[in-house]
Structure 1
Amino acid sequence: MRNTLGMITVGAALLLGGTACGSTHEAQAPSVPTELPPNTVLVRDMQFTPAHLTVKAGQTVTWKFDDQGIPHDVTGTGQAAGILKSSTIANGTFSYVFKDPGTYDYMCSLHPQMTASVTVVP
């Protein structure tokens, strides 16, 4: 009887231990698409990806806002100040046609550490 009781105790401990281990889940980071459509900037994880994009004059760049409901914007700085400006967006897109060659720096005015640029070539 004593041996059977010990086996039951050990079996129960293994079962409970296995259940406890099996019930813990690590938080998984949101998946980031490995490939974006051409000339698209992903706004996610408090950053612009890619941070530097090169396009030809006349091409459109689209920013895709997908940061778990956190609002952001695209605000031009330097040469792009007053030219490049989106509304505040939590989910959705903003597009801009770059007509003239140059480097257009921008940031999120709500999160100034978020910076990036678009270089436009002829």
Structure 2
Amino acid sequence: MLYLFRSALILVSLLPGSAGAVATPTLTFPFKAVGTPGAGGASGQLTVRTLSPTSAISVLTLRGLTPGTPYVAHYHALGAASSDPCASGGPVTLGFPAFRTNAQGQATVLLRADPARISGSQGAYVIVHTAGNLAVVPLCAAVLRTAGTPAGQNAQSPNAQSPKVQPPAQVALQQTVKIGDNFFMPASLSVVAGTTVTWVHTGKVAHNVLSLDLPGISSAVLQPGDRYSYTFKTTGTFTYYCSFHEGMSATITVTSR
């Protein structure tokens, strides 16, 4: 991590992580203040350069944050909740090193990683959070939106069958999933159509429950002790995740009976 603000911006650029990638001219992505508490007059920019098919450098240059305060930043794959990438609630694909601002509220943060992890399947954005409360988001930068599968839809082969909608179960069915810090328990669950699953927050930091497979799964920010429920009526296997924490995801398989 780098704590010293650089007056001369490091010039880097973004390329898809395909085989044979080479360095290209610089692309810069500006941050916008999201408007959540703690945003103030924060601003900055992100620059990224692909050095090889498996190596890219991302640099955050940030200012106007709270002086001497710990922050974290994450790449997110584009979610399905909104046409605005910064409001789409996508899963975390890559985390920057944790950092602390200097006495002027400035920071420069460098990350080297595989470029394939930057873009996600449909696009990407970067969110800066306060380390003490990940629900506080001062800054967001829309990085890339790729063509192809529209947000909120899953690509299917021409012969794939659409999921079947099942009638409500005759008897109310209930299942519970515990939300811990950086995990869901159980990580894999099988239920019959018509089951209501309730997520119970048993951890100590903020989490949420979101899904690209089923956009209807979309909780608010959950604090310790909070609950969120969703009734599954469509058969299939669905992945859900917390958009605050890298790798925090689980699956639910819904069967007809």
The answer to whether TM tops 0.5 is yes
**What is the correspondence of 1:55-74 to structure 2 with a 5 Å cutoff?**
55-68=191-204, 70-74=205-209
Correspondence 1:85 to 2:221: no
Q: Which amino acid aligns with 1:51?
A: A
Tell whether the 8 Å contact from 1:60 to 1:97 is kept in structure 2 after alignment.
yes
- Matches of 1:112 and 1:86, distance apart in 2: 18
> Is 2:232 the partner of 1:98?
yes
Partner of 1:42: 178
Runs of 4+ residues deviating >4 angstroms = none
Secondary structure of residue in 2 paired with 1:67: coil
RMSD (Å) for aligned C-alpha atoms? 1.2
Distance 1:76 1:112 in 2: 14
3-state SS of paired residue (1:84): coil
Pair member with larger Rg? 1
CA contact (8 A) 1:39 1:53 kept: no
1:84, CA displacement in angstroms?
A: 1.1
Give the unaligned 5+ runs of structure 1.
1-37
Residues 104 and 53 (structure 1), Cα distance of their counterparts in 2 relative to 1, 3 Å cut: same
CA distance in 1, matches of 2:252, 2:210: 12
For residues 51 and 113 of structure 1, the distance between their equivalents in structure 2, rounded to whole angstroms, comes to 12
Q: Is residue 210 of structure 2 the alignment partner of residue 75 of structure 1? A: yes
* Number of aligned residue pairs: 82
Work out which structure has the larger RCO, using CA pairs closer than 8 Å and 6 or more positions apart in sequence. 1
Residue matched to 2:139 = none
Scaled by the length of structure 2, what TM-score is found?
Answer: 0.31
Query: Share of identical aligned residues, percent?
Result: 38
Using the TM superposition, give the Cα deviation of residue 41 of structure 1 relative to its aligned residue in structure 2, in angstroms: 0.6
The DSSP-based 3-state class of the residue aligned with 1:113 is: coil
How far did 1:59 drift? 0.6
Write the distance in 2 (CA, Å) between the matches of 1:100 and 1:45.
29
- Structure 2: unaligned runs, 5 residues or longer: 1-173
